[in-house]
């Protein structure tokens, strides 16, 4: 591989990073990596940047160390081969992501057939992605267990993917349904083998977990933290928290909001939901609108980026749904709630709060579903189990039944 271009122009890459506010420590890592590559290029005789990265895998390193190496080497590759500068969004091409790219051709062909056929039938892109992703992980597990063809798959291999040797459930019923959807579509592609796999899939009971919810005291503390301009929360995080608390938007939809999503003239929020691809129109309350305005006028960097919420440091990249989840954790910490291990503090607990609050106030279910952007009639069902105000109305009076005194005793 010829590194003459990198030798002659690598200083341009480093200068670009300096002028765009990257830290000196981060820049020094790039400088050290480039010097190491140029110093060893002739003796190592690498044929690709992937080979350079693989040099680091020959000896034990932590996952974080290798992840950082992939990021840096991938960014150098983008600059050397394609002239692209780092921008915080462009991913490296050292490896394709996901189990699909590790599958044997036969398994890839099944996934490809499923995606093409279901797309023609009009299935949602997000559903196709989830089902194909889970099926690819399933097939990769079989492949690693020695079944590199469907005709080699045994029932024990399939069962072991879902249930451990001690009988513990590893994968959920919904995960199995996603896999089954791929093999049902594959019946047209290879009826014999796909029907065999479908027969091997275990009969799993659908489990329902107790849903954690925000208590009244927690809601008060969170509102206090969001409303306090002197709190440790940046204006961006306060605005995001207000959106989640009072609209119940999904994290991916908050991350995907643009400057045009806010209709200031009519006090409305307009988005296209990423999960359902359906439009959603919501009222813009004064509290939410003021929080967003404060962020836009006092903190958001002057950027040509159309997305509403950006990172707080250069190069000011748009937030993704994972970043929104991290922000909710910071909000909970600032409010001093839900800090014990295992307690929910992600985006969805805000969505659950909005649904439960509306149910508790007697808002009709169709209105709540429209507010949350649900398209399926049963999507509201999980929230009904936490509507304690109306559930109590269904309680039966047991005063007429004889009950032994020890039932309520302390012993």
The SS3 assignment for 410 reads coil
d(CA 72, CA 17) in angstroms, rounded, equals: 12
The catalytic residue among 10, 171, 236, 250 is 250
DSSP 318: B
Domain match, 268 and 336 both: yes
What is the residue-level pLDDT of the chain in tens, covering all 411 positions? Answer: 889 999 999 999 999 999 988 889 999 999 999 999 999 988 888 888 888 988 888 777 887 888 889 889 999 999 999 899 987 655 666 666 678 888 899 999 999 999 999 999 988 887 898 899 999 999 999 999 999 999 999 999 999 999 998 888 899 898 999 999 999 999 999 999 999 999 999 998 876 666 778 888 999 999 999 998 888 899 999 999 999 999 999 999 999 999 999 999 999 999 999 877 889 999 999 999 999 999 999 999 988 899 999 999 888 899 998 899 999 999 999 999 999 888 888 898 998 888 888 877 787 778 878 888 876 666 666 656 554 554 455 666 666 777 766 666 655
DSSP 99: G
Residue 386 lies in a domain: yes
171 assigned to active site: no
- Indicate the residue among 139, 170, 200 that finishes a domain: 200
Domain match, 254 and 376 both: yes
Of 292, 286, 242, whose CA–CA distance to 262 is shortest? 292
Of 201, 242, 230, 192, whose CA–CA distance to 350 is shortest? 242
Predicted pLDDT of residue 33: 96
Residue 349 lies in a domain: yes
Provide the residue range defining the domain that includes 166.
Answer: 99-200
Domain match, 105 and 78 both: no
Domain match, 288 and 387 both: yes
> How crowded is residue 73: how many other Cβ atoms within 10 Å of its Cβ?
22
d(CA 54, CA 365) in angstroms, rounded, equals: 55
DSSP string, 159-217: HHHHB-TTS-B-S-HHHHHHHHHHHHHTTTT-HHHHHHHHHHS---PPP-PPPP---HH
The SS3 assignment for 78 reads helix
Torsion sign, CA atoms 342, 343, 346, 351:
positive
DSSP string, 359-391: HHTT--HHHHHHHHT--SGGGGHHHHTT-HHHH
Domain match, 262 and 331 both: yes
348 assigned to active site: yes
250 assigned to active site: yes
In the beta sheet, which residues pair with residue 271?
Answer: 280
d(CA 307, CA 233) in angstroms, rounded, equals: 20
Q: Structurally, how many domains does the chain consist of?
A: 3
Domain match, 236 and 349 both: yes
Strand pairing of 262-263 and 268-272?
antiparallel
d(CA 300, CA 154) in angstroms, rounded, equals: 56
Of 180, 225, 218, whose CA–CA distance to 353 is shortest? 218
Residue 331 lies in a domain: yes
Domain match, 281 and 344 both: yes
Question: Strands across the sheet with 279-283, in order?
Answer: 262-263, 268-272, 279-283
d(CA 374, CA 263) in angstroms, rounded, equals: 22
Predicted pLDDT of residue 138: 96
Residue 206 lies in a domain: no
Domain match, 268 and 373 both: yes
The SS3 assignment for 269 reads strand
The catalytic residue among 31, 92, 314, 348 is 348
H or E, element range at 350: helix 348-360
Residue 211 lies in a domain: no
Predicted pLDDT of residue 206: 74
175 assigned to active site: no
The catalytic residue among 31, 196, 270, 275 is 275
The catalytic residue among 53, 100, 246, 383 is 383
Give me the half-sphere count of Cα atoms (radius 13 Å) on the Cβ side of residue 131. 25
d(CA 253, CA 348) in angstroms, rounded, equals: 12
374 assigned to active site: yes
Domain match, 386 and 262 both: yes
- Indicate the residue among 20, 47, 82 that finishes a domain: 82
DSSP string, 2-20: --HHHHHHHHHHHHHHHHT
Predicted pLDDT of residue 96: 66
82 assigned to active site: no
- Indicate the residue among 200, 234, 269 that finishes a domain: 200
Domain match, 309 and 242 both: yes
Whether this prediction's pTM lies above 0.75 is answered by no
Predicted pLDDT of residue 25: 92
Question: Are 90 and 79 contacting, i.e. CB atoms less than 8 angstroms apart?
Answer: no
Of 365, 348, 334, whose CA–CA distance to 245 is shortest? 348
In the beta sheet, which residues pair with residue 268?
Answer: 263, 283
Domain match, 228 and 310 both: yes
Question: Are 352 and 383 contacting, i.e. CB atoms less than 8 angstroms apart?
Answer: yes
d(CA 53, CA 71) in angstroms, rounded, equals: 10
Residue 187 lies in a domain: yes
Predicted pLDDT of residue 383: 59
Domain match, 326 and 229 both: yes
The catalytic residue among 171, 351, 352, 353 is 351
Q: Is 405 exposed, middle or buried (0-12, 13-18, 19+ CB in 10 A)?
A: exposed
- Alpha helices by DSSP H, 271-320: 286-298
Residue 205 lies in a domain: no
Residue 207 lies in a domain: no
Domain at 317, CATH number: 1.10.443.10
In the beta sheet, which residues pair with residue 29?
Answer: none
DSSP 277: -
d(CA 125, CA 256) in angstroms, rounded, equals: 17
**Residues ≥6 apart with Cβ < 8 Å to 88:** 311, 315, 317
d(CA 4, CA 167) in angstroms, rounded, equals: 58
């Amino acid at each position: 591989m010829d590194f003459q271009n990198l030798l002659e122009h690598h200083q341009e890459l480093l200068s670009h990073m300096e002028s765009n506010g990257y830290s000196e420590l981060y820049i020094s890592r790039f400088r050290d990596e480039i010097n190491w590559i140029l110093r060893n290029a002739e003796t190592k005789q690498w044929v690709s940047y992937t080979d350079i990265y693989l040099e680091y895998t020959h000896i034990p390193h932590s996952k974080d160390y290798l992840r950082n190496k992939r990021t840096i080497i991938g960014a150098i590759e983008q600059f050397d081969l394609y002239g692209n500068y780092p921008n915080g969004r462009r991913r490296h091409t050292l490896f394709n992501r996901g189990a699909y790219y590790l599958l044997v051709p036969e398994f890839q062909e099944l996934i490809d057939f499923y995606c093409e056929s279901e797309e023609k039938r009009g299935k949602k892109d997000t559903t196709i992605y989830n089902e194909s992703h889970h099926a690819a992980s399933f097939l990769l597990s079989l492949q690693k267990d020695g079944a590199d063809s469907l005709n080699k798959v045994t029932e024990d291999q399939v069962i072991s993917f879902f249930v451990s040797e001690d009988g513990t459930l590893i994968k959920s019923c919904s995960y199995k349904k996603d896999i089954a959807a791929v093999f049902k579509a594959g019946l047209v592609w290879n009826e014999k083998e796909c029907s065999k796999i479908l027969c091997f899939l275990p009969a799993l009971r659908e489990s329902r977990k107790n849903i954690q919810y925000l208590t009244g005291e927690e809601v008060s503390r969170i509102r206090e933290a969001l409303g306090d301009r002197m709190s440790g929360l940046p204006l961006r995080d306060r605005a995001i928290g207000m959106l989640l608390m009072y609209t119940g938007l999904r994290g991916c939809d908050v991350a995907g909001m643009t400057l045009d999503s806010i209709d200031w003239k009519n006090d409305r929020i307009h988005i296209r939901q990423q999960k359902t691809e359906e439009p959603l129109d919501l009222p813009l309350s004064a509290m939410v609108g003021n929080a967003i305005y404060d962020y836009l006028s006092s903190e958001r960097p002057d950027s040509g980026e159309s997305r509403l919420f950006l990172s707080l440091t250069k190069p000011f990249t748009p937030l993704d749904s994972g970043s929104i989840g991290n922000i909710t954790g910071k909000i909970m910490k600032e409010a001093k709630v839900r800090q014990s291990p295992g307690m929910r503090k992600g985006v969805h607990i805000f969505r659950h709060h909005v649904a439960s609050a509306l149910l508790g106030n007697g808002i009709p279910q169709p209105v709540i579903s429209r507010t949350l952007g649900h398209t399926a009639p049963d999507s509201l069902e999980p929230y009904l189990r936490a509507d304690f105000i109306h559930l109590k109305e269904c309680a039966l009076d047991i005063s007429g039944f004889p009950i032994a005194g020890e039932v309520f005793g302390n012993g």
